[in-house]
Chain A
Amino acid sequence: MSPSLAHTAREKPHTQRQRTLAVTAALVVLLALAVVSSIFWGTRDVGVNTVWNYFTHADLPAMTEAVLDQRSVRTLWAGTIGAALALAGAGMQGVTRNPLGDPGILGVNAGAAFAVVVGISLLGINSSTGMAGLAFIGAGITSALVYGLASVGRDGATPVKLALMGAAISAGLGSLTSALILNFSNALDSLRKWQLGSVAGSSMEEFFPGVFLLIAGALIIGLGARSINNFALGDDMATALGENVMLKRFIIFIGITLLSGTATSMCGPIAFLGLMAPHALRALVGPDYRAIIPLSALFGAALLIVADTVGRVIMPPEEIQVGVTMVVIGVPVFIYLVRTKKAVEL
């Protein structure tokens, strides 16, 4: 063996680890900056002293305190939802082995939107809690349907079947949704606002039931990282490595549904983040899901907080919904990463 070969063989994992650490550090800093800017900036800027007083529970004018309350709550929401969607996306791409794997492909968004529209047009539901509940139920039923139909047959839910079935069911539900909103203009009115995705008006009370589901989903995806790595080698190889492929895939699928269904019910269908985060991290740290999964969560949280802040300050006093600003900020970053880094193959 030539010395240079031995050298590279020893060197490679080392630089890889350094790279992952550097990316982790950068993302933590980014997240911290995002949180700070989200609390300081808005339609009403606040000074450092005011924020300090707020966190040390000193006396503040009621107005300022209310503003800061609202801002910290929505920062928390944006961060949580961002992390959840990014995790769901990473899990989805791992399970379907498809670069187009997005929680939306699973039918979650289509199911949630359909349930919301049915609720508004046929059942007369209009409260935000009602819509959240409907969205969650719709997302859950749809993904169960996708998985159930995709797993008919002897080799179970293979990646191709899962992806195609999800897209087909989304297509069908999308049609039914358009049929309803073209006949009920009040449904279109509510849907077009809900569809953008927003964390404005979020409250601590509505945060709690959802966050437990999100934590459960995050744990499933996080613990499944090693299995997802094995899935990437193909089903046969993964089985040979001792994975119970069908069972593990099913469990991870439940995790994805919990994360994306809950996130969608909490603030509407925020597109693209779930798709983008794992691709961005794959370009930065390589194909190991044990790194991609946790770092995607950090990345997603930071990106959604930044997007929410930008949406608040860009044309005051109006706000642009986070679903829009996230895409506008995210797409150039995504394009830059995919173009400059070579390792985008799944």
Chain B
Amino acid sequence: MSQVATELTPVDRVAKLRADGRRRPRLIIVGLAVTLVAVFLVRVLLGTYTVTFPDFITILQGGSIEGARGARYIVLSDKLPRAVLGTLTGLAFGCAGAIFQLLLRNPLASPDIIGISSGASLGAVLGIVFWGSTGFEISFLAVAFSLALAILIMVLAAGHGGVGNRFILMGIGVAALGNAVVNYLLTRIDINSAQSAMVWMTGSLSVANWERILILLIALCLIFPAVMLFQRQLHALAVGEELAQSLGLNVTITRWLYIVLGVLLAAVATAASGPIAFVAFVSGPIARRLIGGRHSLTASALVGAIIVVFADFIAANFVPSGAMPVGVLTGAFGAPILIWLLVQSQKEGRS
């Protein structure tokens, strides 16, 4: 009898370990969601024109606050739209980055590196240089060019054999071409246009308005469900092609589906705010290290949103010039977190 008991103990232990392994990602995701809400509130409530939470509710319901009439305007037409747009683009970039990193099985593969962002930059800079575009025109050109370049990359990567590696290589080839043209154009224009092109290419939330948010929201409402629906297949694919195939998965279709979804996510987010630098790249590895080795699109999207909203809060309130685009700080803020997590996980012996 006692033998049975000792035999059960390891089984129990394994079961417990497995349960822990399942619980940790969930806990982290809940934690990240709470953090995102907190950061969002910090962005909206604190800083210039600090409002209390009850006041915020009053403002949302259409009332105004005694003694601070400006607060209503600042909250509704500056802080809130920026926070919402930041959240949405952050979610989209974080998710797109994780999709590419998972799909192409390369931690360096993000829309920044494989050509989608440089397509958007090319479109925007061409617009600024040749047609003096502003606002929605730039967004339209950016999305058109990033989709065109993405299609070019896909056509070049298509064919028999491993799509993954070739997609990366074609992506960096096309990205290099786009970047070279952008850099060349930047030297040919006057310094003010170059400066505004730089601001756009760094990514900024100062363009936030409700119209923009609505368009992005509709696009994301169409894309995110599709991403979530086939997530299981994506993870199966990431484990290994042969295994995925033996599980009855159509590897080619799944891969192309996710490439298209990732491209669309990156493209619509870029159109809304410019290619906010490095969010797509750092979110995936940060989320992965928080969770403890597993990929999670949800966690990565949440990390992306937290980074963007928090960086925007810092940019708007703690940087003297005041008009610092958010993309300047996402790298400066995301990179140290990633570096710290990398160092931390190395001390624990996993990488």
If the complex has contacts A100-B106, A164-B338, A174-B277, are A344 and B165 also in contact, measured as CB distance less than 8 A? Answer: yes
Residues of A within 8 A of B83 (CB): none
A182–B325 contact, CB under 8 A? yes
Chain B residue contacts of A155, Cβ below 8 A: 346, 349, 351
Per the bound structure, the CA–CA distance linking A153 and B181 in Å amounts to: 41
Interface string of B275-289 (1 = CB under 8 A from A): 001100110010000
Q: A62-70, A256-264, A320-328: which lies at the B interface?
A: A320-328
Of the listed stretches A39-47, A186-194, A238-246, name the one at the interface; the rest are far from the partner chain.
A186-194
Residues of chain A within 8 A (CB-CB) of B329 are 175, 179
Q: What does the 1/0 interface line of B123-165 toward A look like (CB < 8 Å)?
A: 0000000000000000000000000000000001001011001
B334 at the interface (CB under 8 A from A): yes
Does A164 contact B174, Cβ atoms closer than 8 Å?
A: no
Name the prevailing secondary structure of the B interface residues.
helix
* Complex alpha-carbon distance, A193 and B181, angstroms: 13
B180 near A271: Cβ-Cβ < 8 Å:
yes
Distance, CA A185 to CA B156, complexed state (A): 39
Query: Does A5 lie at the interface of the complex (its beta carbon under 8 Å from any beta carbon of B)?
Result: no
The reply to whether A164 and B108 contact each other, CB–CB distance below 8 Å, is yes
**A78 in the interface (beta carbon within 8 A):** no
Report the bound CA distance from A88 to B174 in whole Å: 21
Contacts A149-B342, A164-B108, A165-B339 known; A175 to B176 CB distance under 8 Å? Answer: no
Q: How many residues of B contact A (CB 8 A)?
A: 57
B219 contacts the other chain (CB 8 A)? no
A168 to B332, CA, bound (A): 10
B187, A182: Cβ atoms under 8 Å? no
Are A152 and B343 interface neighbours, CB within 8 A? yes
A290 on interface, CB distance cutoff 8 Å: no
Say yes or no: B180 contacts A100, CB within 8 Å. Answer: no
Q: Is B179 an interface residue (CB 8 A)?
A: yes
Q: Quote the shortest CB–CB distance from A47 to chain B (angstroms).
A: 32
Give min CB distance, A154 to chain B, whole Å. 6
Which residues of chain B come closer than 8 Å to A192, judged between CB atoms? 183, 186-187, 194
User: B278's contact among A175, A181, A320, A327, by CB below 8 Å, is which?
Assistant: A175
Contact B176 A327 (CB under 8 A): yes
A171-B281, A193-B187, A342-B161 known; A152 and B106 CB under 8 Å?
Answer: no
Interface of A is mostly: helix
Determine if A161 is an interface residue (Cβ-Cβ < 8 Å): yes
User: Are B170 and A152 in contact, CB atoms less than 8 angstroms apart?
Assistant: no
Tell me which of B108, B184, B335, B347 contacts A163 (CB under 8 A).
B108
B331: which of A172, A196, A272, A331 is its contact (CB, 8 Å)? A172
Known contacts being A98-B106, A98-B108, A339-B159, is A271 close to B176, with CB within 8 Å?
yes
- Taking the closest CB of chain B, its distance from the CB of A153, in whole angstroms, is 3
With A100-B113, A323-B183 as contacts: A158 and B282 at CB distance below 8 Å: no
Asked if A181 and B183 sit within 8 Å, CB to CB, the answer is no
Q: Is the CB of B180 within 8 A of A328?
A: yes
Once A100-B106, A338-B169, A344-B166 are accepted as A-B contacts, the answer to whether A153 and B277 lie under 8 Å apart by CB is: no
Q: Give the residues from 239 to 294 in chain B that come closer than 8 angstroms, CB to CB, to chain A.
A: 277-278, 281-282, 285
Instruction: Check B199–A182 contact: CB distance below 8 A.
Output: yes
User: Is B177 in the interface zone, CB < 8 Å from A?
Assistant: yes
Beta-carbon contact of B281 and A167 below 8 Å: yes
Given contact pairs A171-B282, A172-B336, A174-B331, enumerate 17 new A-B contacts (beta carbons under 8 Å).
Answer: A154-B349, A164-B285, A168-B282, A168-B338, A171-B277, A174-B277, A176-B331, A178-B198, A182-B198, A192-B187, A275-B176, A279-B169, A321-B184, A324-B183, A330-B176, A331-B174, A344-B166
18 A-B pairs whose Cβ atoms sit less than 8 Å apart in the complex: A149-B339, A149-B342, A153-B347, A154-B349, A160-B107, A164-B342, A165-B342, A168-B339, A172-B335, A172-B336, A175-B330, A178-B327, A179-B324, A189-B191, A189-B194, A328-B177, A335-B173, A342-B161
